[in-house]
Structure 1
Amino acid sequence: MKKTNMRFSVSLILFMLTIWVGSHIPYAFGNTSQNQIVYWIPIEENIEQGLSQYLKRAFAEAEESQADAIILEIDTLGGEVNAALDIGKTISSSSIPVTAYIKKEAISAGAYISLNAKKILMAPGSTLGAAEPRTISGATADPKMVAMWASNMRSVAEANGYNPDIAAGMVDRNLVIDEVKSKGELVSLSAEQAVTYEFADKIVADRTEVLSQLQLQNAEVIEVSLTPSEKFARFITSPYVIPVLFLIGLAGIAVELFTPGFGLPGAVGLSSFGLYFFGHYIAGFAGPEILILFVVGVFLMGIEIIVPGFGIFGLLGFGSLVAGIAFAAFDPFFGLTSFIIALMLTAVGIIIAIKYFGVKGTWNMFILRSEQKNESGYNSSNGKHTLIGKKGVTTTPLRPSGWALIEGERFDVMSEGAFIDQDTPIQVVRVSGASVFVRSQKSS
């Protein structure tokens, strides 16, 4: 009886242990099909630093959730080279497998981002390539930039198993690739060509097929979207918006200085600079110390305007302001260059405004505009020239300046030469500006 009870107890323990181990196997070996997690992240419109910050946040969330896969849905015509490089680093350093799903276009910087993924899927009619770098004006970048970008494309292609020559041919027109491109052309692959040249694994129609191809059809899909603040940061940190903000800011402040009172132009100008700093703060490029630099700069320049000195406050303030603007930008050189260009355009506008409209408002503080006329009892210093040759007597010692009575009128005079005692006969010898010079009659 005791043996029977013991066997029953052992069997019960083994049964419970089997249940416990079975329930914990999924945690030991990863998610099962019932609890797999996929992060679906859209990459759309222009590639800029605001997008880079958004992707860093999305990847961090995926890591924290222990996601099984990250899928980037790409539809972009490109953007900033530096932003694309940052996004590439985010993708390549991810511990979670990343798949690029090219829904429509992955052009220029979009092509580079796609090649950082270990697997590429493309929708019918989509394209990949044409990654020639261009300036903000649309012109082809200089040869050094082309060579650098081609090298990056080649490097990332080699790292992920794509043809490096074709990747470089997406950038360099001078590269010749047999049966792929001639000199003067750029490689731009259709979905079918991408599969042929092993740049894409397969052509898939939609999200369902993407998940099926990755064997994640039963996974929970978490779609990461931009927050309102990230959308704002993406707009403000765009290289096309930053110069406009500077121009509006400087123009608004300049108009305010030339018009009476403080009104809409000044408010718009200050708001433009505020938007610049706030947007870069949200994007993670500017910290509180940068904002302090800007505020200190404005404060010091205000002191220089209100209390004119030797320009020290003005120079320190301007330096602090420019430093704040430069270091708040994702690229200090770009921020500084944009500000200088906006400053030059504003200066040209000020010159034109002064020439055709005159000077008004706050600038009148620095310009003497009142008129003093003889009819109101004022005599210009030029009128003192009539004193030359006239005689008088000192009423105080001249050491060298003092007072003298000349033809019954008291004048502030200066001795030309030696000191002159009080009650000494003098004669006016010359007048310079407002100064009347006299000489002792005893020595004449």
Structure 2
Amino acid sequence: MRMGRAGLLLLLCFLTLSMMIPAVQAEPEASHGRAVYWIPLDQEVEQGLARFLDRGFREAKEGGAEAIILEMDTLGGDVAAALEIGKLLRTSKIPVTVYIKGEAISAGSYIALNADHILMAPGSAMGAAEPRTITGERADPKTVAFWASNMRAAAEAHDRDPEIAAGMVDRNLEIKGLKKKGELLSLSAGQAIQRKMADRMVKGDADVLRFVKAHPSDVVRVDQTLSEQVARFVTSPYVIPVLFMVGLAGLAIEFLTPGFGLPGVIGLSAFGLYFFGHYLAGLAGMETFVLFAAGLILLLIEIFVPGFGIFGILGLLSLVASIVAAAADRMFSLTTLVVALLLTVVGMIIAVRRLGLKRGVKRFVLHTAQDNTTGYVAQPGRRELIGKQGMALSPLRPAGTAVIEGKRVDVVSEGGFIPPRTPVKVVDVQGLRVVVRGLTSSDDGADSGSR
């Protein structure tokens, strides 16, 4: 049995909402010795990482940890996430040691400066923390000044040189013997230790454990769950635009072509992944899913029930509100959504003109032209429908839509209201006006007997 477009869309809405149910996590095992929690801080800094570290610190507190080691190797990322992680380190009652195994660049250097101790492996580096936009351009002077002040504060809180910390951000700052004006500061492991920006150089994990006076048997490693990995991937500022593009393009193709198929599934899945990832990252609540589902339902009403566009407008506003509400940076999310929408519109225009989607568009565009040089030609009648039976797809008040011989037809009732899913019969065709009559069980029996 084939499921209609409305049924599939509602089913996908239900599945999206069901994904919100969080997986039950096992309680961390209590440590019976000197617990040292070892947490990786790698790849990009974003909101998903902040949620993961927050869980790791909570487990360390519940497990009675005496030290937390963050193994760092990152090129930076989101400023807002870095500020949140920095606050997590500053307010931790458990001593935090950052072990820079590779790079602590940009937001990574800010996080490291908030730790109680910084250890660096040979060949590692920290610095180059100039804020940039997602397109790679330098941030405005106000943002640079804000970020430099936060770097200074983090360094001062742990008796590190605030000028060196600010020099990692501000090109205009000059530090005699270390940095010229116009350059960004980045320190090697040796330079960082010499300038007292780091505590010690270590050659491996064993040296790190000796520094915190722990044994390998004391280590409790905290790994990311599958849901946290999904959250980290989805909340990346580089992935969000792709999800918007895929989601909008899938829904646009679905609405331009008959039936419900793969494009609609892909489009809804992209938006479902966006919301699910932000929910796991602690950014989206139940209200965002309700707004998104309400938006889809309103768009369905607009498609299947004749109206004046009010439901469609409300549906679009609800969808936009849900997307923006779920974002960590709402201005970035709104801007990205608008750009993705414009690119989708341009792409669909190209597809319609070049790639053969014109058949689907014919449902929305009047293609017949009247030319006074050739005379005014009426649309061809559909008198072959007389006597055919079908079913009302929407309420007929008296106009609406019916399915006749497997095809959607705009019809009007012979008189009075006909509810949806009522059997109907075409009794007359007047030009483009297809007139139907509701059938009762007795009518069906009469028709069967006459045949």
Give the TM-score band, short-chain normalised.
Answer: 0.7 to 0.9
Give a deviation string over 1:147-173, Cα, whole Å, max 9, x none: 111111011111111100000000011
Same amino acid, percent of matched pairs = 59
1:240 match? 238
2:229 & 2:32 partners in 1: Cα distance? 34
Q: Output the amino acid matched with 1:190.
A: S
For residue 171 of structure 2, give the secondary structure of its aligned residue in structure 1: coil
2:222 match? 224
Q: 1:345, CA displacement in angstroms?
A: 0.5
2:123 match? 125
1:345 match? 343
Distance 1:276 1:192, change over 3 A: same
1:151 match? 149
280, 299, 304: which one aligns with 2:278: 280
Q: 1:368, CA displacement in angstroms?
A: 4.4
Distance 1:262 1:360, change over 3 A: farther
Distance 1:153 1:147, change over 3 A: same
1:317 & 1:275 partners in 2: Cα distance? 20
Residue 46 (str. 1) matches residue 44 (str. 2) = yes
1:208 match? 206
Q: Output the amino acid matched with 2:283.
A: F
Distance 1:225 1:380, change over 3 A: closer
1:371 & 1:319 partners in 2: Cα distance? 35
Q: Output the amino acid matched with 2:141.
A: P
1:380 & 1:362 partners in 2: Cα distance? 23
Distance 1:361 1:63, change over 3 A: farther
2:83 match? 85
2:391 match? none
1:34 & 1:303 partners in 2: Cα distance? 60
1:55 & 1:356 partners in 2: Cα distance? 49
The answer to whether the 8 A contact 1:260-1:360 is kept is no
For residue 83 of structure 2, give the secondary structure of its aligned residue in structure 1: helix
Q: Output the amino acid matched with 1:130.
A: A
TM-score (norm 2): 0.73
2:106 match? 108
Q: 1:371, CA displacement in angstroms?
A: 9.4
1:96 match? 94
Q: Output the amino acid matched with 1:160.
A: H
Q: 1:310, CA displacement in angstroms?
A: 2.3
Q: 1:350, CA displacement in angstroms?
A: 2.2
Q: Output the amino acid matched with 1:278.
A: F
The answer to whether the 8 A contact 1:36-1:218 is kept is no
2:290 match? 292
Residue 308 (str. 1) matches residue 306 (str. 2) = yes
Segment drifting more, 351-360 vs 126-135: 351-360
318, 321, 326: which one aligns with 1:320: 318
Q: 1:50, CA displacement in angstroms?
A: 0.6
For residue 131 of structure 2, give the secondary structure of its aligned residue in structure 1: coil
Q: 1:298, CA displacement in angstroms?
A: 1.1
242, 246, 268: which one aligns with 1:270: 268
1:439 match? none
Q: Output the amino acid matched with 1:222.
A: V
2:302 & 2:277 partners in 1: Cα distance? 29
Q: 1:311, CA displacement in angstroms?
A: 2.1
66, 69, 72: which one aligns with 1:68: 66
2:247 match? 249
1:55 match? 53
Q: Output the amino acid matched with 2:74.
A: T
Q: Output the amino acid matched with 1:203.
A: M
329, 332, 342: which one aligns with 2:330: 332
For residue 98 of structure 2, give the secondary structure of its aligned residue in structure 1: strand
Distance 1:309 1:358, change over 3 A: farther
Number of aligned residue pairs: give it: 345
2:216 & 2:225 partners in 1: Cα distance? 27
Q: Output the amino acid matched with 1:205.
A: K
Distance 1:380 1:204, change over 3 A: closer
The answer to whether the 8 A contact 1:34-1:219 is kept is no
Segment drifting more, 216-225 vs 261-270: 216-225
TM-score (norm 1): 0.74
2:164 match? 166
Q: 1:370, CA displacement in angstroms?
A: 7.3
Distance 1:167 1:367, change over 3 A: same
Q: 1:332, CA displacement in angstroms?
A: 1.6
> What do you get for the CA RMSD once the two structures are aligned?
2.2
Q: 1:218, CA displacement in angstroms?
A: 6.4
2:290 & 2:101 partners in 1: Cα distance? 44
1:379 & 1:202 partners in 2: Cα distance? 89
Q: 1:357, CA displacement in angstroms?
A: 5.3
For residue 137 of structure 2, give the secondary structure of its aligned residue in structure 1: coil
The answer to whether the 8 A contact 1:112-1:153 is kept is yes
1:356 & 1:208 partners in 2: Cα distance? 63
Distance 1:379 1:118, change over 3 A: closer
For residue 122 of structure 2, give the secondary structure of its aligned residue in structure 1: coil
- Unmatched runs of 5 consecutive residues or more in structure 1: 1-32, 373-377, 382-444
1:239 & 1:218 partners in 2: Cα distance? 37
1:385 match? none
The answer to whether the 8 A contact 1:38-1:219 is kept is no
Q: 1:308, CA displacement in angstroms?
A: 3.4
1:30 match? none
Q: 1:317, CA displacement in angstroms?
A: 0.9
Distance 1:330 1:361, change over 3 A: farther
